[in-house]
Amino acid sequence: MTYALMTSGGKDSTLALDRARRRQLDVRYFVNIYDGASQRVRFHGVRKELIALQAQALGLEPMIAEATADGFETTFLELLQKLQQRDVTGVIFGNVHLAEVRWWYEERVMDAGLRHVEPIWGEPSIELAWEVVERGYQALIVSVDLARGAAPFLGREFDADLVTELGCSEDLDPCGENGEYHSFVYDGPTFSETVAFSVGDTSEHQGHRFVDLVPQSQT
């Protein structure tokens, strides 16, 4: 049986992949949908080129497609069809505790005749955040929702100091499950190489603040 990972490049889906591989699941594909207008992952602001480099570093075949906000579902269903054609058995997700998000994906994945796999579902966010650090993953906070109080974390490494601060907050989910922040993982135990980038400009759009990560080859 073979599997695909649905990911935006962040720590939760990376940890889900880590868990799946430790369970000896044969994960072969890296599925990502980015915004066609910006050529970046929606809400994360990560360039599609970095996403492709992450897939390569994780040893997964990229299945990366663009979509408009209104066309996300259509693109997702098309990707599921392509996975079926490649004899993929199931899709792995990094959802933690947002039931409506899980349900949206689960319904469509199962309707396509594929298994819906959630390796980190329902576990305490703070414990998952610590697992990311303790497993040795390196990630950067690349976007924050300015209305949710996470603005000071933008551009910071997702390390023990940051997790300690998140754990002390009564208003923030340590995994950013409510959209407080998003991350990009660039190295760790399941990576064959570091995803190289430089830190570029900061920008704001629709209530979110982003730090631009520029692939090193484009600097």
pLDDT (tens digit per residue) in 79-133: 999 999 999 999 999 999 999 999 999 999 999 999 999 999 999 999 999 999 9
CB 25 within 8 A of CB 57: no
Residue 44 one-letter amino acid: H
Based on the structure, what is the number of domains in the chain? 2
- CA dihedral (168, 174, 176, 181) positive or negative: positive
Q: Among 83-87, 171-175, 206-210, which range has the highest average pLDDT?
A: 83-87
Q: Do 25 and 88 belong together in one domain?
A: yes
Q: What is the pLDDT of residue 148?
A: 87
Judged against a pLDDT cut of 70, whether residue 33 lies above it is answered with yes
Region 152-177: mean pLDDT is 93
Amino acid identity for residue 162 in this structure: L
Q: Tell me the average pLDDT of the chain.
A: 95
218 pLDDT above the threshold of 80? no
Round to whole Å and give the CA distance between 13 and 182: 11
**Residue 7 shares a structural domain with residue 112:** yes
CB-based contact 20:119 (threshold 8 Å): yes
**Owning domain of residue 188:** 125-218
Q: 103 and 7, same structural domain?
A: yes
Quote the strand ranges of 38-173, DSSP E: 61-67, 90-92, 115-117, 138-145
pLDDT band of 59, cuts 50, 70, 90: very high
Cβ pair 215, 53 in contact under 8 A: yes
How many whole angstroms separate alpha carbon 21 and alpha carbon 34? Answer: 25
pLDDT at site 217: 63
* pLDDT the model gives residue 181: 96
HSE toward the beta carbon, residue 36, CA cutoff 13 A: 9
Query: Which of 87, 117, 147 is the endpoint of a domain?
Result: 117
DSSP strand pairing (208-215 vs 197-205): antiparallel
pLDDT score, position 208: 92
Asked which of 27-36, 106-115, 148-157, 210-219 is least confident by mean pLDDT, the reply is 210-219
The residue out of 98, 117, 136 marking a domain boundary is 117
